[in-house]
Homo-oligomer: A and B are copies of this chain.
Amino acid sequence: MVEEREDDWRRDLEQANKDVSRDHPIHIGIVGLGLIGGSLARRLANAGCKVSAWNHRDHPYQDAQQAGITCTDTLEELVASNPEILILCNPLVAMPSVLQTIKPVLDPEKTTLCDVGSVKGLVRQQVHEAGLVDCYVGAHPMTGNEYSGWDSADPALFDNALWALTYGPHTEYRRVVQVAGMVTRSLFNRLIIIDDETHDRAAGMISHMPHVVSTALINMLVCDEYRNVDAALAAGSFRDMTRVSLTDPSRTRAMVEENRDNVVDLLKDMSHRLNDIADALAANDDAAISEFFAQGNPFRTYKTTQRKQFTGEDTQTMFSSLSLDDDWRATFLKSARRGEQIVRFTAPNHALAECRYAI
C-alpha cells in the first residue's frame, strides 16, 4: 500500500466523516424537490446538514424553507454556492439540460456530483458528455412509492434504505467515501458500492424486465376472447403479478428504454426459459420439470431466512471488515456479491459491512 495514498485517504475520510457535530455542517445541494429529492432534503435538514435546493417550479419553496431548506431562484445560484455534494434528483429526461446548466458553474474541486437515477450507465454517459465525470459518483437509493412530488415527500421514506453507489474507471475513491459518509452518518442508511453495469443489469433483473413481463400478462388477457371469464376468475396470483403493469405504461416504457440492452438480454433469457419449460411439460420430461421447480430453492430459503431475521427469530449479526487499497473497486464489488451491506467507514481505508444471509 502506498503511504502517501493512505494519507490522502485519511484526510479525505476525516473530511467526509465529519458529521453534524463538526464546526460547520456538511453542505448538500439538491436539484429537484420531488418525492425523492424532497424526502432527501428534509431528512438531511433534520440531521443538521446545511441543505440548499432548487426546483424547476417554486411551489414547494415556502414549505421547504420552513423545513430549514435554503431555496435558490436559479440552478446556477445553487451550484455557485459550492455544496460539498450536489445531488441531482431531477427526472432522467431533464438530465442533459440540467447538466448543461451546471457545467459552467460547478467547481469540481469543491463539489462532488451525485444523482439518484434508477439507471446508472446512461447517467454516467451524460455526465461524461458534459465533462463532469471526474467529480461524479452514481447513486441509487432503493426507496420510493407510487406517489410523486413535494407534497408526498417524507423523510421516513429513507428509513432503513439501502443505497447503491456506482463507480466508473475515473471515479475518485475519496468522493465515494464522501458520499458514503452522507449515506451512513447523515441519513443512517446502508449501501453497496458496485460498477454501473452490475447495477443496471441487476435493476433490469429485479425491476425493468419484470415490469415488461407483467405488462405482457395483461396484454395476453386483453387479447383473449374469453378475457372477462379470465378476469372473473383472477385472484391473488394474477393481481400480485400484474400490479406493476397498472402504473403509467409510458413511465414503464421510459424506464425500460433507459436500460435497453440489459432488458433485451433478460427478456430473451426469460423467453427461452418459458419456451423450455413448455417443451418439458409437453414432453412430460420429468427430469427437466423437476429441475425447473427446484432451481429457485436457494431463493426460497433466502426469503425464509430473511423473514426470520426481520421477525427477530435470528438476532445474530455478523460484520465483515473491508480493507480498501488500489483494488477498492473489486473489494467493494466482491462484498456486494457476498450479500454484504456497508454500514460505516471505520478508518480511511476500512469499511464495516453487515453480513446477511446470501443466496
A interface residues, Cβ below 8 angstroms from B: 140, 142, 144, 162, 164, 192, 194, 198-199, 201-203, 205-207, 210-238, 240-246, 249-250, 252-253, 256-257, 260, 263-264, 266-275, 277-278, 281-282, 289, 292-300, 302-303, 336-339, 341, 358-359
Contact = CB atoms under 8 A, between A and B. Distances in A.
9 contacts: A207-B234, A210-B237, A219-B295, A220-B273, A228-B358, A249-B300, A252-B293, A253-B289, A264-B282
Contact of A234 (B206, B225, B278, B358): B206
A212 B339 contact: no
B249 A294 contact: yes
Given A271-B271, A281-B256, A229 B264 contact: no
B263 A219 contact: no
B237 A206 contact: yes
Contact of A293 (B215, B227, B244, B289): B215
Contacts of A245: 296, 299-300
Given A162-B232, A210-B217, A249-B300, 11 more contacts: A164-B232, A199-B233, A201-B226, A206-B235, A212-B277, A218-B295, A228-B337, A237-B243, A240-B244, A245-B296, A245-B299
Q: 7 closest A-B pairs (Cβ-Cβ)?
A: A218-B296, A228-B339, A267-B278, A249-B293, A271-B274, A206-B238, A271-B275
B219 A296 contact: yes
Contacts of A223: 295
Nearest to A291: B219
Contact of A222 (B274, B278, B295): B295
A225 B339 CA distance: 12
Nearest to A192: B232
Given A205-B221, A226-B198, A275-B268, A213 B241 contact: yes
Contacts of A220: 205, 266, 269-270, 273
Nearest to A340: B228
A293 B250 contact: yes
Given A228-B358, A237-B244, A267 B274 contact: yes
A291 B12 CA distance: 51
Contacts of A235: 142, 144, 206-207
A297 B223 CA distance: 11
A205 B218 contact: no
B278 A268 contact: yes
- Among A207, A232, A240, A292, which residue has the most Cβ atoms of chain B within 10 A? A232
A244 B236 CA distance: 9
A233 B267 contact: no
Contacts of A210: 217, 237-238, 241
Contacts of A224: 205
